Structure 1
């Protein structure tokens, strides 16, 4: 039986590296777990990883800081847009005050009859904090956020589309949607996979904006990754997607910490199908208590360590 377990991580193209670290670590209180580089292409660009206490699949936000390279994107429709993060029920007043104290503008939203907070990364990417009952993932408390308020991990992904029906059909027929479709105004929401949390897809019908960019570029979402659990299951899911006619899908790529394939969905959002394989995981090159303390490189770049490090922005963690 083929399946999606739940979400794995989200990857964003952000602005400068230090402002990204400050936002995720000092403002959102997330754990810094990995400092490495983009595996694709020849331009040295940081790949930075943030998570909850344990780096669980479904808890990780990763970023490429592209401003140093002068590459910028455009937010629009037919593109993933909102980073949805899960926080404990009753924590929004704490987060409202904390965000204001860190000079972050915050809006209160009422979505699907529940309050949530909306704000932006310094590069403009949209974030929302969503309260969830009984989210068992453990928040990180190393940056001054009390345990009862700490971010559990991902709630899901917000995608803007011109034709939501095509994305809903893809999810229903090919990509393991679960439960009932919820609709509210120009929004639709459903869950994907077997997990209890972290796997919400929220679609916003958006015909007023131009097509957003899909290439790397500061200020834009790059992809949302799903946890396929095993390489054998990943293969079967890939075959099923291709067999349904969605052939804009990549070959297997080894990302050291996980192995992945990528598929462009009918709604424009790039999905990654990820597996944390036997030789991977965040602690394959650092012990659990040292995560994020060393600059890591894939083997093919190791002989260029000094040159690459000198080209990248200096960051203080």
Structure 2
């Protein structure tokens, strides 16, 4: 069994309308699924991805109006990366961010890649990472119905950074339980802090990495708008998913058990530093109930929620996007 890479990253937003504006109008991503939080159907769940909603390209948001600020710290997924094709693309984005007043840093190296860190309207910590022809997990397909040139479009998820108080137990879970391999380190951007560990799975590359940052000097994070709820890792099919579920349970990890999300199967558990991991199947995907051409246009509900559509729609606030 081998995880293929990152499946999706799920975050929190306090205002879905501004969130939609940023990820579709500013970043040029496609809204590939407008649905509800299946554990709280009075809340929207928005998925942004590539042109076809491929696994490994989605950044998702739970809409919680009135959500407070995030107070950053350890026990968190502190940054989420989005892939672009080249360093030239980073210069395009830097110029675009300047024009639009988007907070950003300078282009810099992280794990031997050119990157550009920036924030959305709610302070979500994001990083654009340039592929520059690197081998590994294939990129997705940029969404063309936008003002962003095709060659500079966002093509998937890059590494996530886990910020923890003590890296050792997290590294042990990633390597000994999930099968990641340690492939290197790079300097922390924070002064007098340990190097950041780089771990990879599957065929590697930007879309299959986790970076682990040890920050014992920080308090524990208090999540709010813009914080990351969980990271999901790709399992190719249901057969392997069942084996992973057996493994996680047999090792004594308290977990959700197998959860039917309709678009994928899911299993959730927390690693020793309290970060929530999910294992998700690539199949069947987001086109199971909508055509590729019409992804994200209607409120999509899985079959087990469809009988409650009227009740669910009545409980949702109007969403003008």
TM-score (norm: length of structure 2): 0.89
- Residue 160 of structure 2 contacts residue 211 of structure 2 at CA under 8 Å; is this kept in 1? yes
Aligned mates of 1:83, 1:221 — CA distance in 2: 8
Is it true that 1:234 corresponds to 2:241 in the alignment? yes
**CA deviation profile, 1:138-177 (whole Å, cap 9, x unmatched):** 2212111111101110012111011112211222211111
Structure 2 Cα separation of the partners of residues 204 and 179 of structure 1: 13
Paired residue for 1:139? 142
Residue number in structure 2 paired with 1:259? 265
Segment of structure 1 superposing worse, 254-263 or 183-192: 183-192
Give distance in 2, aligned partners of 1:138 and 1:301: 30
Counterpart-to-counterpart distance in 2, 1:241 and 1:200 = 20
* Alignment-derived partner of residue 176 in structure 1: 179
Q: Which residue of 2 aligns with 1:33?
A: 32
Q: Determine if the alignment matches structure 1 residue 152 to structure 2 residue 155.
A: yes
The 8 Å contact of residues 20 and 65 in structure 1, kept in 2 or not, is answered as no
How far apart in 2 are the matches of 1:190 and 1:40? 31
Contact 1:4 1:194 in 2 (8 A): no
Matches within 5 A, 1:243-258: 243-245=250-252, 247-258=253-264
Structure 2 counterpart of 1:81, from 74, 78, 81 = 78
Three-state SS of the structure 2 residue aligned to 1:107 is strand
1:53-109 CA distance string (max 9 Å, x none)? 2211111111111125x4665432111111111111121110011122222111024
Root-mean-square deviation over aligned CA pairs:
2.1
Question: In the alignment, is residue 281 of structure 1 matched against residue 291 of structure 2?
Answer: no
Q: Which runs of 4+ in 1 moved over 6 A?
A: none
Q: In 2, distance between residues paired with 1:306 and 1:47? A: 17
1:256 and 1:114 mapped to 2: Cα distance? 36
Q: How does 1:13-92 map to 2 (within 5 A)?
A: 13-41=12-40, 44-68=42-66, 70=67, 74-89=71-86, 90-92=88-90
User: Given that residues 3 and 237 in structure 1 are in contact (C-alpha distance below 8 angstroms), is that contact kept between their aligned partners in structure 2?
Assistant: no
Question: For 1:286, what is the secondary structure of its paired residue?
Answer: coil
Between the aligned partners of 1:283 and 1:50, the Cα distance in structure 2 is 14
1:290-309 to structure 2, matched below 5 A, reads 290-309=294-313
Q: Is it true that 1:6 corresponds to 2:9 in the alignment?
A: no
Distance, in Å, in 1 between the alignment partners of 2:90 and 2:2 is 33
Q: Is the 8 A contact 2:55 2:285 kept in 1?
A: no
CA distance in 2, matches of 1:213, 1:55: 31
Tell me whether 170-179 or 259-268 shows the greater mean CA deviation. Answer: 170-179
TM-score (norm 1): 0.90
Q: Deviation at 1:213?
A: 4.1
Q: What count of residue pairs does the alignment treat as equivalent?
A: 309
* Deviation of 1:127 (Å): 0.3
> C-alpha distance in 2, partners of 1:58/1:35?
18
**Offset of 1:241 from its aligned partner?**
2.9
Q: Note if contact 2:245-2:258 (Cα within 8 Å) is conserved in structure 1.
A: no
In structure 1, stretches of 5+ residues that fail to align are none
CA 1:16–1:136: 2 relative to 1, 3 Å: closer
The aligned residue for residue 269 of structure 1 is: 275
Find the counterpart in structure 2 of residue 96 from structure 1: 94
Does 1:200 find its partner at 2:209?
Answer: yes
Q: Summarize the Cα distance change of 1:111–1:5 in structure 2 as closer, same or farther, 3 Å threshold.
A: closer
CA contact (8 A) 1:49 1:63 kept: yes
Counterpart for residue 225 of structure 2: 218
Would you say the 8 A contact 1:67–1:218 is kept in 2?
no
Uncovered stretches (5+) of structure 2, i.e. residues with no partner: 189-193
Q: Distance in 2 between matches of 1:55 and 1:151?
A: 12
